[in-house]
Structure 1
Amino acid sequence: MGFRIRKSINLGGGFRINVSKTGIGYSWGVPGYRVTRTAKGTTRKTYSLPGTGISYVDETKRHNRTPVSLENRPVDQPSLEEIESASIQQFQNVEAQQMTRAIERSLAINRLANMFLWAIIFTIFSPLFLGLFFIGVLLKIYVGTFGKVKLFYECDEKYMQAHQRRINAWKTLQASKMIWQVTQKGKTLQVKTNAGAQTIVNRIACRINQKPPLYMRSNVEIIRVPLQKEELIFLPDQVLIRRNNKLGSIDYDQLQITVSSVQFVEDQTVPGDATIIGYTWKYVNKNNTPDKRFKDNRQLPICLYEQIHLTSPSGLNVVLQCSNQNNATGFEIDMTKEIH
C-alpha cells in the first residue's frame, strides 16, 4: 500500500486549494454546491442537501486535443470588410433639423421607458422597482400619443405620384421570397474549399416594414427598411436614417441606386423564386469535379440573385440581395424614374 499525501488550504470566501501527490487543484463553492478543478484536469461539480448527507457528483473528463485531419482542418479565414454607412453626423440636413430633433426627443423618452419597464424583474427585491415600472408604462403611453411627430404632406399630384411609385417599388421588392442585407465582403484564396467562390460575404435576412414607427404619424404611406445598424425611412420628400437615437436625412436627388446580377453559391435553403443556373460542390477541383478527399462533400446550387446598392455622396452605403430578378428590375425602374 502506497502513501497518500493530501492537504487542503482554505483561502476564505468559499475558495480552497487542494495539494495532493498528483498535483495542485482548486475549488470554490457555497453550502449545497461546489466546483472542483482537480490536479488531473477534470472538473467536478458536487450538488448536496446540507444536513441530509444526500449529494450528487458530476465529473467531466479531461478534453484531449483532437488531431487535425483533412476532413476537419480549418479553412482560411478571409479578412472581411464591413459594408456600412458613414457616421450619422454626415447626414445632417438643416431643413430637416426641427423634425429630426423632435423625433430624437421621442426616441430618448422611449428608450428611458424601456429601461424603467425592465424594473418589473427586480420587484422581488424591493417594491420600489414597481414604481419605476409604472413610470415606464406612463412614458410609453406618452410616446404613443402626445410624443408622436405628426407629418402631414400637401403635395401636387405629380409629387405624390412619385412618392407612391417609390412605395410601390419597395412593395414589389417585398414580394420576393427572400431579401438579405450584405454586411461583410472579402476575398478568399482557398477557392477549392469554398465551392469555387472567390468572394465570401456575410448576410442577414431583411424584411421591409410598411407600418409607421411608434414615434411618427403621417397622412401618407411610409416605408421602413430595418438594417443591422440603422433603419431607412422613406418619406415623400426625403429618406430618414435612424441609428440608435440619432437621425439624419438625405434628399432623393442624392440617392443613387444600382442593380446588378450576381452568382451566389447557396448553402442555405434556396428561395422558391430564385433562378438556379448550375451546380457546384462544397469542395471542388479546378475542373469542377468533386474533391473526393473530403467527406460530406454535398452538391450546392448556383443561384442568380439581384444585388441592390444604395449609396449617396454623404456616405450612405447599403447592399441588399434579392432572390427574384423581376422584382428587383421593377424596383430599379420605379425608384429611378424621374418626375415629368
Structure 2
Amino acid sequence: MGLKFRRRQKIFPGFYVNFSKSGISTTFGPKGFNVNLNQNGAYLNTGVPGTGIYDRKKISGWNSKIINDLRNFEENEIFIPDRFEGEIKSKTASNLTTNGLIPLKESLIAANNELNSIRKETEIVKSQVSNANTLRVISKIFIIGFIIKYFDKNYIEKKDYLQNLKKQIDDCQVDIEIHMDRILDEKYLKLKVAFDELMNCKQIWDITNAVPNQDNRSKASSNITRLPTQIGYRKLPFLNTVYEAMWFQNKNGSDIYIYPGFAAFFDSKKNFGLLELDKLYLTYDYTNFLETERIPKDSKIVGETWNKVNKNGTPDLRFKDNFKISIVRYGELTFKSQTGVFEVFNFSDSSKAAYFADEYNNYID
C-alpha cells in the first residue's frame, strides 16, 4: 500500500553533566564508549562495564577544533556595551553558546529535527489510517472472503504504525542527568529560596533602551524604556531533566532559563544558545527612579523632586503645571557574558534583587 515503516527512530545520546570547583565537564554516549569534554580538552573513554577494563585518551578532529577555538578566544573580547547607552539587548541567541556545551546543543537541534520529521509523517499516516478504515468498512458491505481480511490487516498495520509514531514524538528529547556535590547542592537550594523571594516582587520590568536625557530642566539623567515582565519556573520543551529552570521573560530578545550549571537563551527550537553558568555574570545595583506611574507597595521612596527643576533643586516656577515626582529605589540585575549577553531587569523590592544576586554569585563562586 506504499507505507514505509520507520523501524526505529534515531537514538539521541544522554548527557551527564558534572559541576565541581574545577569547572563543568560534559559526558555523552553510552557506558563503555563515550566522550568527555572539559576545560583541558576532549577525551574518548572506552571499556567493558563491570570488568575494570578501561582506557582514556585525548582525541583530535572535530572536538579538537572546539578546543582550539577556545584557546584562540581572547579574554578581552568581552561584550559589555556602555551602561544605559542605546538598546539593551543580547546578541542573537544562536551565537551565545560556549564551547563546552556545543555537543549538547547539536543533540537538541537533532532531536528537534527528528521530531519535526516524525510529526510530518504522522499527519500523512493519519490520513492513510482514515482511508484504510473507509476501505475496510466498504469491503465488509460489498466484498466477502479473503479480501476482507486483507483490508482488515492493512488497517491494523497502519493504526499500529500511527501509535508507534506518536510514541516516538514523546521520545524526541535529550535526557540530561545533572550531578552536583553536597556543597553545591546546598548552595543551589539557597539560590532557589532567593529566587522564590524575587518572584514575590510586586513589579518586574525588562529595561530595553536608555538614552541620555536632553531636558536640562529634568532631574532624570536618562530616558528609560521599560516593559513589565515576569519570572518563574519553566522547562525547555525538548530537554528532559528533573530540574525546572529559573525563567526570566525577556521582552526584546531570548528568554533566559537558568539550570543548575548552565543557562539557556531561548527564542525557538531553532534559535537558542547554551552557556555555562560560570560564564554568565550577574551584577546588582540599585537605581533611583523618577516614578510617574503607580508606585509598587514593596518599593522604597527615597525622596521627591519636581517635573521641572532648577539647578538648586527648587521647582521651576515658569511651568505652572509643574508637579512633584517621587524618587523610588528599585533593584537592578544585569546579566552579561563574553559571548554577547546583555540584559537588565528592574525589581520593585531592591533588597530581594540584592539577595538573589548574592546567592547567585555565591553559587557560581
TM-score, normalization by structure 1: 0.60
Match of 2:255 in 1: 231
Among candidates 235, 242, 245, match of residue 212 of structure 1: 235
Q: Is the 8 A contact 2:330 2:346 kept in 1?
A: yes
1:246 matched to 2:246: no
Structure 1: how far apart are the matches of 2:321 and 2:275? 49
Q: Is the 8 A contact 2:184 2:363 kept in 1?
A: no
Partner of 1:177, secondary structure, is coil
- Whichever residue aligns with residue 100 of structure 2, its letter is E
Q: Where does 1:1-340 land on structure 2 (aligned, <5 Å)? A: 81-104=86-109, 145-192=170-217, 195-228=218-251, 229-244=253-268, 245-294=270-319, 296-338=321-363
- Whichever residue aligns with residue 182 of structure 2, its letter is E
Match of 2:5 in 1: none
Residues 275, 107 of structure 1: alpha-carbon distance in 2 compared, 3 angstrom cutoff: farther
Structure 2: how far apart are the matches of 1:321 and 1:156? 33
Query: Which consecutive unaligned segments of at least 5 residues does structure 2 have?
Result: 1-83, 119-162
Structure 2: how far apart are the matches of 1:322 and 1:292? 34
- Whichever residue aligns with residue 241 of structure 2, its letter is S
Cα deviation for residue 336 of structure 1 reads 0.8
Count of matched residue pairs: 236
Q: Is the 8 A contact 2:87 2:210 kept in 1?
A: yes
Cα deviation for residue 109 of structure 1 reads 8.5
Structure 2: how far apart are the matches of 1:187 and 1:333? 30
Cα deviation for residue 105 of structure 1 reads 5.4
* Bigger helix fraction: 2
Cα deviation for residue 264 of structure 1 reads 0.5
Q: Is the 8 A contact 2:98 2:339 kept in 1?
A: no
Give a deviation string over 1:274-307, Cα, whole Å, max 9, x none: 1101112223333433344446433221001121
Structure 1: how far apart are the matches of 2:200 and 2:111? 32
- Whichever residue aligns with residue 207 of structure 1, its letter is Q
Give a deviation string over 1:158-195, Cα, whole Å, max 9, x none: 23223333333322211211121111111122131xx4
Structure 1: how far apart are the matches of 2:292 and 2:108? 41
Residues 213, 335 of structure 1: alpha-carbon distance in 2 compared, 3 angstrom cutoff: same
- Whichever residue aligns with residue 311 of structure 2, its letter is K
Higher-RCO chain (CA-CA 8 Å, sequence separation at least 6): 2
Cα deviation for residue 254 of structure 1 reads 1.7
Query: Which consecutive unaligned segments of at least 5 residues does structure 1 have?
Result: 1-78, 114-137
Partner of 2:171, secondary structure, is coil
Partner of 1:153, secondary structure, is strand
- Whichever residue aligns with residue 199 of structure 1, its letter is S
Give a deviation string over 1:27-80, Cα, whole Å, max 9, x none: xxxxxxxxxxxxxxxxxxxxxxxxxxxxxxxxxxxxxxxxxxxxxxxxxxxx96
Q: Is the 8 A contact 1:266 1:301 kept in 2?
A: yes
